[in-house]
Amino acid sequence: MNNFIFENGTKVIFGKGCVKEYLSCFLKHYGNNVMLAYGGGSIKKNGIYDEIMGVLEKDGKTIVEFNGIMANPTYAKVTEGAKLARENQVDVILAVGGGSVMDCSKAISMAAKYDGDLWSDYWAKPGIIDFEPVPLCVIVTVSGTGSEMNGGAVITNEELKVKTGRDYPKCNPKLALLDPTYTFSVPVKQMVSGGFDSLSHIMEIYFSAPDEPNVSDDIAEALMRGVIRDLRAAIKNPKDYTARSNLMWEAVMAENRIIKLGKKTDFECHMMEHQLGAFTDCNHGAGLAVLHPVYYRHIYKEGIAKFKRFAMEVWGISGNGRADEEIALAGIDALEKFISEIGLPNKLRDLGVDEKTDLKAVADSCTCVQGAYKAMTHEEIHEIFKECY
């Protein structure tokens, strides 16, 4: 294992009924003014809004609602939320939703307490937070991003056509309430997209140095097998509590920094998908599903031992009498077949990318990460996009 320092400041309460049982206890440690942040309003249709409002009203909280947070939250939306938080002297932000709501709320928690240009100082480049953001509590209704147990937030600057993420430990939610039944009303397509995002996070950590046996890779393999198993079960029965609860915790484990310990990580596919999203607003999980197999066929030779291990340990492919390259490619083929099996697309044109999309401009805007087995160039990223089209 390589050297590392580990810290995670989020308290997680997991299980059926946890919101009604624990939310009030948490909020009593903060002030009276609560910003309730959420997305398009689905929580008003499935009863979650009423349950949360019941707790807040019983405790006599002053509630400031901030809704309409979109699937790819924009910097303009962050600015809008921060203004509302300042005007109402919000003491705590209660984010109810999936990754987009949580990410937007983290950025709002910073912007509400910062007088400068948040984008220039903290998203365009990494910054050092020398102030305390507004405390944040999250209630997860859509699992997949793992945003509930880290300080990461992905924000899109529409003017600059840049979608980028930063992970600031000070933005970790103080509390994450995870009730798997809250995810039951999520459409199957959205559930699958979120599940694949979790799988992508794990793969992008796994396919990086070190390659000698290590605890992080061992856990990652178990998580990948779990996501594959649980997605299959949840597609068959969307109200399978075991499968949905597993998917919820697998998403957290993928991004709570534990499996990143001692790893370089390779998030090139995420960088490519982020920029596709910035130019086209395509679905994140679906975009990753299109990119991963093609990207891996570009890099597997440089990481042949790990790709062979992926094939054998995750997909159960036999290595008897087969060359390492053949085994490695069989693992990528198995991933591609699984993507089709769960109903995700395999071409960019299925995501709304058309001839009007300047794929070269998208490629040129991508970040080339440092931890990958093979260093990408903007030219090779453009080739991958064309192969994916």
Beta-sheet strands, E only, within the chain: 11-14, 33-37, 62-66, 92-97, 136-140, 152-157, 162-167, 175-178
Q: Do 274 and 164 share a structural domain?
A: no
Given 183, 209, 239, the domain boundary residue is: 183
340-357 confidence digits (pLDDT tens): 999 999 999 999 898 889
Whether 249 maps to a domain, the answer reads yes
Q: Do 156 and 211 sit in the same domain of this protein?
A: no
Q: What 3-state DSSP class applies to 267?
A: coil
Mean pLDDT value across the chain: 96
Q: What percent of the chain has pLDDT over 70?
A: 100
Residue 196, domain extent: 190-388
The answer to whether residue 194 is domain-embedded is: yes
Looking up residue 233, the CATH number of its domain turns out to be 1.20.1090.10
Do 219 and 295 lie in a common domain?
Answer: yes
**Within 10 A of 70 (CB to CB), how many other CB atoms are there?**
14
- pLDDT category at 118 given cuts 50, 70, 90 is very high
Integer CA distances (angstroms), 119 to 37, 147, 166, 182, 213, in order: 20, 19, 11, 32, 40
Same domain for 168 and 256?
A: no
What is the reported pLDDT for 335? 98
CATH number of the domain that 115 lies in? 3.40.50.1970
Q: How confident is the model at residue 374 (pLDDT cuts 50, 70, 90)?
A: very high
Cα 321 from Cα 306, distance rounded (Å): 18
Domain assignment present for 3: no
Q: Is pLDDT of 323 > 90?
A: yes
Which residues, in sequence order, are bridge partners of residue 90?
none
Does residue 1 fall inside a structural domain? no
The answer to whether residues 197 and 176 belong to one domain is no
Picking from 183, 214, 248, the residue at the C-terminal end of a domain is 183
Which pLDDT does position 19 carry in this prediction?
97
Domain boundary among 183, 199, 216: 183
Q: Residue 28 domain-assigned?
A: yes
User: Is the residue at 2 inside a domain?
Assistant: no
Task: Provide the number of structural domains found in the chain.
Answer: 2
Angle at 65 between CA 60 and CA 68, to 5 degrees: 155
Phi/psi region, residue 361 (left: phi>0; alpha: psi -120 to 50; beta: rest), is alpha
104 lies in a domain?
A: yes
Same domain? For 118 and 241 the reply is no
pTM here is 0.95
pLDDT in tens, 278-305: 999 889 999 999 999 999 999 999 999 9
Tens digits of residue pLDDT in 211-252: 999 999 999 999 999 999 999 999 999 999 999 999 999 999
Residue 139's DSSP bridge partners are: 96, 177
Asked if residue 76 and residue 175 are part of one domain, the reply reads yes
171 and 214 share a domain? no
73 & 25 share domain = yes
Same domain assignment for residues 276 and 310: yes
